[in-house]
Each structure stands twice: as C-alpha cells, then as structure tokens.
Amino acid sequence: MSGESTSERLVELAKRRGYFSQSSGAYGGVGGFYTFGPQGASLKRNLEDAWRERYAVGEGHMEIDAPTIMPEPVFEASGHLDGFDDMLIECPECGASSRADHLVEDNTDYEDAESLPIPEVEGIVAEYELACPECGAGLAGVAVENFNLMFDTNIGPGDAQPGYMRPETAQGIFVEFPRLKEYARNQLPFGVTQIGRAYRNEISPRRSIIRTREFTQAELELFIDPEGDEPDLGAVADVPVTLYPATEQNAEDGGEVETTIGEALEAGTIADAWIAYFLGISREWYEAVGVDMDRFRFRQHLAGERAHYAADCWDAESEIDGNWIEMAGFAHRGDYDLSNHGDHSGERFTVFRQYDEPKTVERATVDPDMSYLGPEFGGDAGAVVAELEALAERDRAAFDGEAVEVDLEGETHEIPVETCGFSVDEETIAGEHITPEVVEPSFGVDRLVYTVLDHAYREDEVDGEERTYLTLDPEVAPTFVGVFPLQNDEELEAVAEDIAADLRAEGMAVTYDDSGAIGRRYRRQDEVGTPFCVTVDYETIEGEGTTVTVRERDSTAQKRLPVAELPETLASLRAGEVDFAGLEG
Ligand code: GAP
C-alpha cells in the first residue's frame, strides 16, 4: 500500500467515488466549501435520519426548520456580533491569513491557545519565532486581531437591513421560543431540534470537510426548569464512557478515565445530570452509526475554551490519523440566550410556572398623584411614574422618608412621598414567570460523515489483489445492495433488473451494474461500502428453485439464496436480525 496517510487515501477515494469534493472545481475551487456527491449526500442523509430518529422522535421532541439568514438584532442579543471571534494573523510578506492560536498550538507545547489573551499570543509568536505556514516569513511583531466569523449580508434593496448567515442553527430555535412554548403547552421540559446549515467564515478552513465555511449541524435545545426537571438517569447509568475531564487535562500526568455515566456523576466528574444523560445516549448512538469506540472519547472544555454562552461543556471527540477532532459539543447554556433575547426584543422569553398551592405574597405598588407630577414634570411625568414603580418593586425603604429620590437622565429629583400613593398589599398568586435554562447537544454532521468513513476504511488483499473497502453499517450505507447480471446477456439482465426493482420496492437503496468484469464490479461496491451484492447467473435462470449468489462485503463470503426469499432475507440482514455467516446457502 502507498505511504500516504489514511486521510489522504480517504479524501482521494471520496472524490473518485462521489462522497465529497471541493465545490466550484471548474473555477479553481474555493476554500472551505464542499459538495457531497451521490454517495456522500446519501450517507449524510442516512446519518441525519438516524439522528432525527434518536434525538427528535426517540426523545419526543419537536423539529423545526428556520431560515439561515437572520437580522442583526438577533446576533446583538446572542452575543455573536461582539464575541464570536477567532485570532487572525496576516503575513506581511505573502498576505496569507492564519489562526494565531492554531499556529501556537501546532508549533509549541501550548494546548489551549484560544483561551489566552491576544497580547500573550503575540508574545508567544515572537518568543518561538513562529513563521507563516505559506511562505515561511517570520511573524514576530505582527499584530494579532480579533476576526468575527459571521458572514454578513444585506436584506432587501436600498437602505438595506444588515443581516448575517447564522453561525449556529440554535439561534433559529431561540428566537422562536415565544411560539414554541405555546406548542409545548407551556410545559417544561421540552426540546426543539433542527438539522440545517450553519456558516462561519473560518480564517483557515482545513482537513477537507472537518473545518469548512458552510456545514450542517444537528442541534437539540432542551428547555428545562432549573428547579425541577431531571433526566431518566437509570437509562444511561451503566453506559461505559471514556472521559477526559478538565482536571486530568490540567494535571501533569493526567489522562483519560474509563468509567460509567453513573459513576462519573456520583464522583462529580460530570457535574450536571442532563449533560450526563446526553453523553450516555450519544455514546450509544455514535456506536450504532459506526464510530469506533476505541477511537472515541468525551473531553471537557477547559475554563478559557468555553463559548461565551456556556457554563459547562463536553465535546464528543473522534481520533483521526492520530489527532482528536471535535464531533459534537454538549453545553449547559443556562438562561443566557432566553434572557438576552427577552431583554433585547421586549417579548416574553419566559414560561409560567404554576405553584402546587397558590401563595399569598406582599406587593408594593404606587398610585402617583398626576395633578402634582403633570405640572411639575410635563412630558417627563410618565418616565417618573415608571421610575417610581420600579423603585417600589426593588426598594421599599426608599418610601420611608418624607421625599422619594428619583433619577431621571442623570438628574436626581425629590418627590414628596404623599404624592406617590405608595402601599403594600397582600396578593394571592398562582405561579410565576421563569426563564428556562437550556441544555444543548450540538452535532456537526460533516465531521460525523468524515469520522464514519475514516473509521470504516479498510485495506486487505483478496485473490492476490489489493482491495479497499468501507465497513459501513447497513443502516447508514448509501447503497445497501448491488445487483449484477454475471454477463452481458439479455435474459440475465432482465432477471437482474426485475430483482433490483423488487428490492427497491422494499425500500432498499440498490445499484444496478452491468459494466466490466464481475470482480471489478465487486471492488467498486466494496469501495463505496455496499454491504451486499447479488449476482444473477445461468443457474438462476436454468436451475430449479431459482437462486442467486449473495456476497457479503467484509468477509467476501458468498452464498446461494432463493430469489423468492431475497427481499425478506436482505431486510433481516439490514436490521441485524440475522447474521450472514449463519444463513443456509
Ligand atoms: N450551538 C452550539 C455550537 O454551534 P460548536 O461547538 O461551535 O457549538 C457544534 O459547533 C459542532 O458543529 C461542532 O462540534 C462541530 O462538529 C461542528 N462545526 C463547528 N464548526 C465547524 C466547521 N467550521 N466546519 C465543520 N463543522 C463545524
């Protein structure tokens, strides 16, 4: 086999066999944008469907489909306009842009440069005499700048409204919260999912579909009552996990910890029960779709690494060519998003929490005498009333003296207390408005596609010939079965075409192939990961109790199976109800 890395061979296979390739190739291609070909689009769709089955349908959550362009105020509120930056360093010689934190991490012992302040990163670049990865020019003394990752655009002609391509699908869910809570009948907890595109103007997109500028996320925003909602921990307590907690990353001889979700919660390694729940179900889901559990772990974010909205965060990571890549993030976002959208929009981003029993509370109110405030404050009288109301709620003692002090546009005014109509009354209330907190599993679909392909990639030798094959799980493989006539013969072709049609009618993804030697046709299907091939030969049309040859991809073992039972047998193989080796034939 060649000396290339698995990734290099995989990327070449992906292009040749229609998994993915850089888009707009006819125009020289553009960094960070990829097109999924026929196989890739199908694999990606199957993985998205599997995600939907588990996280939306399986958990009983809703799914929405929101626009990818959103107006500027959304991102003022979400904090992306101010805080969604990466560190940019531009080479003064060739103009190449690089991520300063990546340069530092790739060329020094610093592991978490993203969390360092810019002057410190500039200092490290100078101290280690780091150079431009494109032309080799020294970068010492070059300024590092914050670069906002959002793509901006204009909405409409003329005095256009500024807009941005969403950098995470999550914001499309948060802004719809006032309606979504109605659909959920104001009952917490409830979850909303979305699978869709997100956009980030990455400074240096790299490693094919692992870091791109347009990618697909599958996100679940779970809205919980911080004081009441608990997950079903019994369902995940025994799930085994490899964890790499922050404490281990900070320790000199720290390492990964093999444990179970239940033990990790008890030991406090995972602090939050909901995060623990999602790590548990996700570990099982990743395994089911074909991620190699010997090359998988959950790593906790270090304090400086967390996104601006996250209180705690764990990543699901897969090992690719000796490096760990982040496939998903599991973040506790607290009430950050809903509070900010509530404050910025003026709409209610809260849920009414009903008490078990109505409560009697004291409420301080004002009923100002407008015949005094009107002549005294003119147009500002309304603002004075609003200030008095707010003051009554937050500081009753302010009404103890003879005059109440009110600040209006930087000036303090004294209002005689007898004109305020201040009183404290008892009131019976049924509940209160609370801002739910959010727990968010956020999956990158493109990185999942890459990992599933990389972990399925195999090379071996069959009949003295090198073979490349992908051990894709039958539930996610883009093509489930290849159907071939052994030779170019009208009779064989007609039977093979009928079999292909029958299998398609059963909902199987079928490829019909009648070109080239049979061995080459098998190799083609092996390379795209097709789990089974069916070959129609002369025995099929001449023999009694018509049979075909069925070949299994991984073992290359072949069996003769009755045509009449083919749809049922293949369906059982796909569902994992039977094992090919155990079939009679
Ligand atoms: N809503 C939370 C959020 O967006 P994130 O960790 O920034 O969190 C979630 O992104 C996932 O999206 C990542 O774990 C990764 O799989 C994927 N992702 C992020 N940036 C990406 C990029 N430039 N290219 C491909 N996938 C990316």
Q: Tell me the CA–centroid distance for residue 366 and ligand 1, in Å.
A: 50
Q: Mean pLDDT across the stretch 153-175? A: 93
Measured between alpha carbons, how far is 542 from 134 in angstroms, rounded to an integer? 65
- Indicate which residue's Cα is closest to atom 22 of ligand 1: 211
The verdict on the CB of residue 215 being under 6 Å from ligand 1 is yes
pTM beyond 0.85? yes
At 26 the pLDDT is 94
| CB proximity list for 431: less than 8 A, separation 6 or greater | 352, 353, 354, 355
* CB 219 near ligand 1, within 6 Å: yes
Segment 157-172 mean pLDDT: 92
Q: Report the pLDDT value the prediction gives residue 2, as an integer from 0 to 100.
A: 55
Q: Name the closest-CA residue to atom 17, ligand 1.
A: 444
Residue pLDDT, tens place only, 30-89: 999 999 999 999 999 999 999 999 999 999 999 999 999 999 999 999 999 998 999 999
168 within ligand 1 shell (Cβ under 6 A)? yes
pLDDT at 5: 87
Pocket residue to mutate for ligand 1, from 44, 326, 448, 449, most atoms within 8 A of Cβ: 326
Q: Of all atoms in ligand 1, which is nearest to the CA of residue 211? A: 24
Which atom of ligand 1 sits closest to the CA of residue 219? 1
What is the percent of the chain with per-residue pLDDT over 70, rounded to a whole number? 99
Which residue owns the Cα nearest ligand 1 atom 20? 211
Asked if the model's pLDDT at residue 160 lies above 90, the reply is no
Rounded Cα distance, 522 and 513, in Å: 10
Residue 364 confidence (pLDDT) above 90: yes
Report CA-CA distances (Å) from 295 to 177, 325, 454, 554: 37, 11, 11, 20
Instruction: Select from 569, 474, 489, 478 the least CA-distant residue to 536.
Output: 489
Per-residue model confidence (pLDDT) at position 253: 93
Residue among 217, 278, 297, 443 to mutate when testing ligand 1 (max atoms within 8 A of CB): 217
pLDDT tens-digit map of 429-455: 999 999 999 999 999 999 999 999 999
pLDDT of residue 20: 97
Three-class secondary structure of residue 212 per DSSP: coil
Pocket test for ligand 1, best of 70, 447, 450, 451 (most atoms within 8 A of CB): 447
Is the pLDDT confidence value at 112 over 90?
A: no
Atom of ligand 1 nearest to the CA of 167: 4
Query: Residue 528 in contact with residue 478, Cβ under 8 Å?
Result: yes
User: Atom 12 of ligand 1 has which residue's CA nearest to it?
Assistant: 444
Q: What is the pLDDT of residues 484-543, one digit of tens each?
A: 999 999 999 999 999 999 999 999 999 999 999 999 999 999 999 999 999 999 988 887
- Over the chain, what is the mean pLDDT? 94
CB 329 less than 6 A from any atom of ligand 1: yes
- Strand pairing of 558-562 and 547-552? antiparallel
Is the minimum distance from the CB of 202 to ligand 1 under 6 angstroms?
Answer: yes
Condensed to tens digits (0 to 9), the pLDDT of residues 179-238 reads: 999 999 999 999 999 999 999 999 999 889 999 999 999 999 999 998 888 999 999 999
pLDDT digits over 100-110, tens only?
999 999 999 99
Give the HSE-up count for residue 335: Cα atoms under 13 Å, Cβ half-sphere.
13
For residue 146, the model assigns a pLDDT of 95
Residue 318 alpha carbon to ligand 1 centre in Å: 14
- Token pair recorded at residue 86: 């990466």
Paired residues of 334 in beta bridges: 438
- In tens, the pLDDT along 546-563 reads 899 999 999 999 999 999
Q: Average pLDDT, stretch 356-372?
A: 94
- Kindly report, residue by residue over 393-414, the tens digit of the pLDDT: 999 999 999 999 999 888 999 9
Ligand 1 pocket check for 170: Cβ under 6 Å: yes
Any atom of ligand 1 within 6 Å of the Cβ of 446: yes
Which protein residue has the closest C-alpha to ligand 1 atom 21? 211
